[in-house]
Amino acid sequence: MDKATSDLQAEVDRLRHELQSLTIENKPSDNEEHITVSDYLLTRLEQLGVTSIFGVPGDFNMRDYIEDHPRINWIGDCNELNAAYAADGYARVKEHSIGVVVTTFGVGELSAINGIAGAFSEMVPVLHIVGVPSTVQLKTKPLLHHTLGNGRYPFDAYTKAAEQVTISQAKLMNKGHAATEIDRVLTDCITHARPVYLTLPTNMVGEQIPSRRLGVPLPRTPPANNPDVEAYVLEEIVKLVDAANQDIIILIDACAIRHDVRDEVNDLLTKTRFPVYSAPMGKTAVSEEHDRYGGIYIGSISDPAIKKKVETAKLILSIGALKSDFNTGMFTYSIPAIHTVELHSDHTLVRHAQFPGIGMKLLLPKLTAHLKQYQQGASQLDVPRFKLDVPKETDERITHTYFWPRVGKFFKKRDVIVAETGTSSFGILDVPLPDQSVFLSQILYGSIGWTVGNTLGAAIAARDKNLGRVILFVGDGSLQLTVQELSTMIHQRLTPIIFVINNDGYNIERNLHGMERKYNDIQDWKWTSLLTTLGDLDGTLSKSYTVRDKASLDKLLDDAEFAKAGKIQLVEVVMGKFDTPRALKAAAELSAKNAEKV
């Protein structure tokens, strides 16, 4: 099926859906096939490629149906926040699918809400299913446990809280609307790449509803661009490209991944051979081994050579930009709008002109068709090779300047690399990652501890997709927030490699505020006992190591058995309390300057 045909098919599916919502509802015929509300939902999830659902038991939810489902697994987490983080990680690795987290209402959903907010902020499609009391109880409002007592009732309070961090909500109060409501929130989830919220009353879980709608898959394609406006936009862009006289670069960012235009961008790249750079949040959207890839642009914090290439280009084709503080070197982009075309999921900017409704998913293939004529000229442009050598340092201690390039040599094709907000996310920026590797970090929302739950979800998805090793970098302070999820990794027989940077506290916080303050200290842990304490009771499922100097680090990274990642492994990396990656130090200094200004 070629692209045009598949676009048409998608539009047909979308229209059928709209039609179904208007006509089928409330007209079940007696002899048609029925299915429970839970199984309807699970079938939809299966259609979206969901194989695992994360959550914590609570008395009001649908987990029997999940446990009994032949192709969907229940992954029991240690707590709800971690479950939400895991669903986010699963969705990030399993592109085109979604993450799902199930909790009970009140206590469960509010414990998870920060994970959902992170998915909202960073545009990750996550469905939060909340088991709630029966529809009768929701009306009569008895003083049930998990409620806010005589003050407020959950449907008033909890749903309002959820509305703040999800794009769409459905309360299944009536089986007649269950199927359309489920389809509505799921469609919002996949088309907007943001979290949605669904409450499932206990008495709704097993209700029988017609299964007919399941025959039509949920529509994925965004609404068509207005053809006249789109044609105009294309013409304007081509004029700018023409005027730029080959001095054009592509700058790729987070939304290219989230809004699923990787393939379109790679096609543009292959056909135009424009040099491409990436923002931190766009890292690995384009292969960092691609010969037209020049590295990470992060405003004034960039490598000077990269900074110059990007900022002096006559035209920047920015794709999926997400200009948050840490993603832009604290707002130090020096790219005038007059030199910029920005493609977004739902609008386009050409210099100062805004074109709402012109989305990149459908625009990009047409743009590529128009721009491929520039290939020959663009190919002449020199792109600096993105590389980072391991420095020679006489000091035996493991420094950030040594550590990050050194682990860079350890990575392999198809590895999934997760970096915690802080020293890890900043340290790894300068490290080129291998082709087909996946990079996960929460650079915008920046909730510390996120990576631990996220690694669980990522590892489950990586197993599904037959990806390589899952490698987590997390600081000692951050690991303390969510440490129990190591237990679920053991329970699920996952085998990530976990590098714990032990530097006596919250290093990013020290750099942002209070370098020598006691509140940035933490209690030291016996890091290498964590895996055995939290589940590997006989010590056969895991291995733990401490490395205190460069030689031990090198030896471990060169060890083939370690590199094979056959069991879960934890490496405590002892580093200096005040040692900090270059990019983080620079970002913290800029942050302090910004704060002074206001």
Among positions 272-331, residues that touch a second copy (CB under 8 A) are 322-326, 331
Active site residue 476: yes
Site for a second copy (CB under 8 A): which residue of 148, 224, 305, 338? Answer: 148
Q: Are 284 and 443 in contact (CB under 8 A)?
A: no
Q: Least distance (Å) from a second copy to the CB of residue 519?
A: 5
φ, ψ of residue 35 in degrees (nearest 5) = -155, 155
524 scored as a contact of a second copy (CB under 8 A): yes
173 scored as a contact of a second copy (CB under 8 A): no
Q: Mark the segment that binds a second copy (CB under 8 A) among 240-248, 444-452, 460-468, 574-582.
A: 444-452
484 scored as a contact of a second copy (CB under 8 A): yes
CA atoms 500, 503, 506, 507: torsion sign: negative
476 assigned ligand-binding residue: yes
Active site residue 524: no
User: What is the tally of helices (H) and strands (E) in the chain?
Assistant: 24, 21
Active site residue 514: no
106 scored as a contact of a second copy (CB under 8 A): yes
Among positions 352-381, residues that touch a second copy (CB under 8 A) are none
Q: Mark the segment that binds a second copy (CB under 8 A) among 156-164, 238-246, 266-274, 426-434.
A: 156-164
CA atoms 392, 563, 294, 454: torsion sign: negative
**Longest distance between any two alpha carbons in the chain, whole Å:** 81
49 assigned ligand-binding residue: no
Q: Least distance (Å) from a second copy to the CB of residue 54?
A: 11
Dist. CA 260–CA 362, nearest whole Å:
11
Cβ contacts of residue 437 below 8 Å, gap of 6+? 284, 288, 411, 412, 413, 414, 415, 416, 417, 468
Dist. CA 150–CA 141, nearest whole Å:
10
Q: Which is nearer to a second copy, 234 or 459 (CB)?
A: 459
Q: Mark the segment that binds a second copy (CB under 8 A) among 168-176, 245-253, 297-305, 478-486.
A: 478-486
User: Which run of H or of E encompasses 576?
Assistant: none
Pinpoint the alpha helices (H) of 393-504.
Answer: 400-410, 423-427, 450-464, 476-482, 485-491
Q: Which is nearer to a second copy, 506 or 545 (CB)?
A: 506
117 scored as a contact of a second copy (CB under 8 A): yes
Site for a second copy (CB under 8 A): which residue of 32, 64, 558, 561? Answer: 64
480 scored as a contact of a second copy (CB under 8 A): yes
Helix (H, G, I), strand (E, B) or coil at 437: coil
Q: Mark the segment that binds a second copy (CB under 8 A) among 2-10, 92-100, 110-118, 458-466.
A: 110-118
Q: Least distance (Å) from a second copy to the CB of residue 415?
A: 26
Which amino acid is residue 569, in one-letter code?
A: Q
C-alpha dihedral (586, 317, 411, 87), degrees to nearest 10: 90
444 scored as a contact of a second copy (CB under 8 A): yes
Site track 383-422 with a second copy (rule: CB under 8 A), x = hit:
--------------------------------------x-
Encoded tokens for 394: 């006489």
Among positions 554-583, residues that touch a second copy (CB under 8 A) are none
Cβ contacts of residue 88 below 8 Å, gap of 6+? 99, 115, 118, 119, 122, 124, 126, 450, 453, 454, 457
Q: Least distance (Å) from a second copy to the CB of residue 5?
A: 34
Among positions 498-517, residues that touch a second copy (CB under 8 A) are 506, 509, 512-514, 517
151 scored as a contact of a second copy (CB under 8 A): yes
Active site residue 446: yes
Mutual angle of helices 154-163 and 107-121, in 10-degree steps: 20
Q: Which is nearer to a second copy, 153 or 403 (CB)?
A: 153
φ, ψ of residue 248 in degrees (nearest 5) = -130, 140
What is the DSSP track for 311-369? HT-SEEEEES----TGGGTTT-----GGGEEEE-SSEEEETTEEEET--HHHHHHHHHH
Q: Which is nearer to a second copy, 146 or 273 (CB)?
A: 146
Active site residue ranges: 59, 80, 145-146, 446, 476, 503, 505, 509
- Please state the residue numbers annotated as binding site for Mg(2+): 476, 503, 505
